């Protein structure tokens, strides 16, 4: 690193001052350093930070820390230059953080000094927290772990004072060359024209097709548009004796780039896995992962600002398993009726994924796709971040909808052939019991022995394959967060039943995944509870409510008391019916006999229900001492004034931008945050 940055300031001075305090708006990497404007606009309804936290920036930097202030014009140092990036459709350029900008500038300068690019180390420069890479010669920034999402980059030399945006580099470089040639060695504060009365003297002019530049002094430079409307306004002002007004330009970025302006090393890698519907919009999981990353970042910046500079950092990588699958080709589209074609196409591209996964023909193709992509991304990540495994980096999974089911099957190695074996054995036993013929029983017995032999061979093959290929994933799972997941209903249909113990050994052994979280919205039609699959009586116990992100008092989840749903109490109804029966008997007549018989029947029915509930309560009291090893089900709070029908339609896709979810995930991948 010394050789790469050792010549950044060799004998070169500064041409302008820098800010004395570093603002968070310098930080580009959005998952770590959102700007104040972004935080305020996104959290307009949130409570404000206390004054102490707001006044403590993550990184304080002195003005011009590396070099003393110079009085004369000199060449710009790399620290004064800032590189920017912009995607198609963006209106403004966004600055790279100092660490990224310095490395890009050094590579750019090296390319200017050689004729053959092969003479220079052509390794890509990882930027934006390691999620993107820059090709300086092509001036392109592309994502490392997914496709698309390409950006242009530009070198910022000269900037508009009013918004801090850089001039196009082709103009900025020409202006910089002219400025150095004309004013090199001049005093920066000579003849301050702003303090002089009358028209400002023009020391130098440089013309372009659509605008021209005027130097009133080495430190006062203005851009004037050549558009007809601008010329008319200037002519009108001149007749009135008013000075012409241009756009003031600044040389060098407002904040110096420093190598300390960089994110911490990644200590926790989080794979974000999509569910159904990815075929409808390829790359959708990239957007959803970005939304989750930004929400988690905002929660960390706003609520845990004191550890912003700690060595703990989580990164979220999108995992796309659906887009490249062929499955049945276009057969389903061919058999789709033409009526309501648009709606049917939407269903084919979304809900059909569930049918594909339950099909014995395509299930293995889907699991193999996700498994391969997870291992590929992890290997790629570790290659670019060799410190991760050495430092004990952890890996978690955030899986949405069907993605949670597929992830579960990969982690546990569940195979539908197990169900087939159970089904065959059940059929054989039933046939053996129903048969009266000794000959048929003998044949059934032989079939059972053959089935057992086949089952044994299959298990041996699976065991050898597992030993040969190793674990299905090349990493261990710390946490698995299921969002709006139907995993519980899949397990129930596979025959999973409560074991009477509070451990998760029969569902998710801790050796495969340390913690399992089932997060869902109360109106999500796809989500199901997991806890009753562990202990049956938890069907009567409410899931734990997820804290509001802005709640001042947050009770630790492991200390929250279990609360039961309100039980049905029929005793009052029984009393009312009994009183009515007694009154009718006292005034019995032919007209009242029919009503009396009906009420007597209702009385018996309600008493029967009450007896059943009492028996159920007695059973629950006997097993109530058994608790879960840890809670699994976490329910989001219902929004005030929201329609249940609207919530049912929107809740399944609302997790990515939900700040309560972001806060929950952040506080569990970094458990130490819960103690702050």
> For residues 184 and 522, what is the distance between their CA atoms, to the nearest angstrom?
68
Q: Cα–Cα distance between 313 and 108 in angstroms, integer?
A: 30
CA-to-CA separations, 164 to 157, 213, 254, in angstroms, rounded: 11, 17, 8
C-alpha 535/C-alpha 23 separation (Å) is 52
- Helix locations, 219-330, DSSP H: 228-239, 284-303
Q: Does residue 72 contact residue 187 with C-beta atoms inside 8 Å?
A: yes
Give the closest residue to 395 by CA, choosing from 669, 129, 672: 669
401 catalytic, yes or no? yes
One DSSP character per residue, 469-500 reads H--SSSS-EEEEEEES--HHHHHHHTT----S
Category of 67 on φ-ψ map: left (φ > 0), alpha (ψ -120 to 50) or beta: beta
The active-site residue, picked from 31, 289, 305, 401, is 401
Say how far apart CA 240 and CA 134 lie, in whole Å. Answer: 51
- Whether 104 and 261 have beta carbons less than 8 Å apart is answered as no
- The Cα-based distances of 501 to 308, 498, 630 in angstroms read 41, 8, 12
Q: Which residues contact 337 (CB under 8 A, 6 or more apart)?
A: 344
Question: Are the C-beta atoms of 661 and 305 separated by less than 8 Å?
Answer: no
Dihedral angle sign, alpha carbons of residues 626, 631, 633, 636: positive
CA distance 320 to 282: 9
Q: Which two tokens stand for residue 122?
A: 């052509």
Residues found in the chain: 676
Output the CA–CA distances (angstroms, integers) from residue 211 to 214, 215, 225, 247, 567, in the order listed.
10, 14, 4, 11, 78
Instruction: Kindly report the number of other CB atoms within 10 A of residue 339's CB atom.
Output: 7
Q: Are 153 and 83 a contacting pair, CB within 8 Å?
A: yes
Q: Which residues are catalytic?
A: 401
């Amino acid at each position: 690193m010394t050789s790469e940055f050792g010549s950044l300031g060799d004998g070169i001075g500064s041409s302008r001052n820098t800010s004395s305090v570093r603002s968070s708006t310098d930080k580009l990497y959005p998952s770590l350093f959102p700007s104040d404007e972004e935080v305020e606009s996104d959290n307009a309804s949130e409570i404000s930070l206390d004054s102490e936290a707001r006044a403590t920036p993550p990184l304080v930097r002195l003005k011009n820390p590396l070099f003393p202030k110079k009085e004369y014009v000199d060449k710009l140092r790399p620290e004064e230059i800032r590189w920017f990036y912009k995607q198609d459709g963006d209106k403004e350029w966004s600055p790279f953080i100092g660490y990224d900008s310095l490395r890009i500038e050094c590579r750019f300068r090296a390319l200017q000094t050689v004729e053959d690019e092969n003479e220079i180390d052509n390794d890509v420069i990882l930027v934006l927290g390691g999620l993107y890479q820059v090709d300086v010669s092509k001036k392109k920034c592309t994502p490392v772990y997914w496709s698309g999402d390409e950006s242009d980059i530009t070198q910022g030399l000269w900037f508009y004072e009013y918004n801090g945006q850089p001039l196009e580099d082709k103009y900025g470089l020409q202006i910089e060359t002219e400025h150095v040639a004309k004013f090199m060695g001049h005093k920066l504060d000579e003849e301050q024209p702003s303090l002089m009365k009358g028209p400002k003297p023009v020391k130098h002019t440089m013309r372009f097709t659509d605008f021209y530049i005027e130097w009133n002094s080495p430190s006062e430079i203005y851009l004037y548009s050549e558009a007809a409307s601008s010329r008319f306004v200037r002519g009108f002002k001149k007749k009135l004796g008013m000075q012409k007004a241009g756009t003031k330009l600044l040389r060098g970025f407002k904040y110096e780039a420093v190598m300390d302006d960089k994110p911490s090393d990644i200590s926790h890698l989080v794979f974000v896995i999509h569910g159904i519907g990815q075929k409808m919009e390829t790359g959708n999981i990239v957007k959803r992962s970005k939304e989750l990353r930004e929400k988690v970042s905002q929660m960390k910046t706003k609520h845990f600002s004191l550890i912003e500079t700690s060595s703990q950092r989580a990164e979220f990588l999108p995992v796309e398993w659906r887009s490249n699958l062929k499955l049945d080709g276009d057969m389903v589209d061919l058999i789709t009726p033409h009526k309501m074609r648009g709606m049917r196409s939407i269903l084919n591209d979304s809900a059909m994924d569930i049918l594909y996964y339950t099909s014995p023909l395509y299930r293995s193709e889907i699991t193999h796709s996700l498994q391969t992509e997870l291992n590929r991304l992890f290997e790629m990540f570790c290659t670019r971040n060799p410190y991760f495994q050495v430092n004990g980096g952890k890996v978690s999974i955030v899986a949405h909808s069907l993605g949670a089911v597929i992830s579960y099957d990969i982690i546990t190695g569940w195979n539908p052939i197990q169900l087939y074996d159970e089904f065959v054995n059940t059929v054989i036993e039933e046939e053996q019991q129903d048969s009266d013929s000794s000959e048929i029983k003998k044949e059934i017995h032989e079939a059972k022995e053959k089935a057992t032999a086949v089952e044994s061979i299959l298990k041996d093959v699976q065991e050898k394959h597992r030993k040969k290929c190793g674990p299905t994933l090349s990493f261990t799972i710390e946490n698995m967060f299921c969002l709006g997941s139907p995993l519980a209903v899949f397990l129930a249909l596979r025959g999973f039943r409560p074991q009477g113990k509070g451990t998760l050994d029969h569902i998710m052994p801790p050796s495969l995944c340390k913690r399992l979280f089932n997060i869902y919205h109360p109106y999500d039609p796809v989500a199901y509870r997991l806890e009753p699959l562990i202990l049956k009586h938890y069907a009567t116990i409410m899931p734990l409510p997820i804290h509001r992100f802005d709640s001042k008092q947050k009770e630790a989840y492991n200390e929250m008391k279990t609360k039961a749903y309100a039980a049905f109490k029929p005793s009052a109804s029984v009393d009312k019916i009994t009183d009515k029966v007694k009154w009718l008997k006292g005034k019995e007549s032919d007209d009242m006999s029919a009503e009396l018989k009906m009420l007597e029947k209702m009385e018996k029915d309600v008493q029967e229900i009450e007896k059943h509930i009492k028996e159920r309560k007695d059973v629950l009291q006997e097993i109530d001492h058994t608790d879960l090893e840890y809670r699994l089900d976490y329910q989001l709070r219902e929004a005030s004034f929201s329609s249940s029908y609207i919530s049912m339609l929107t809740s399944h896709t609302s997790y990515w931008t939900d700040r309560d979810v972001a806060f929950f995930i952040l506080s569990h991948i970094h458990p130490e945050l819960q103690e702050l």
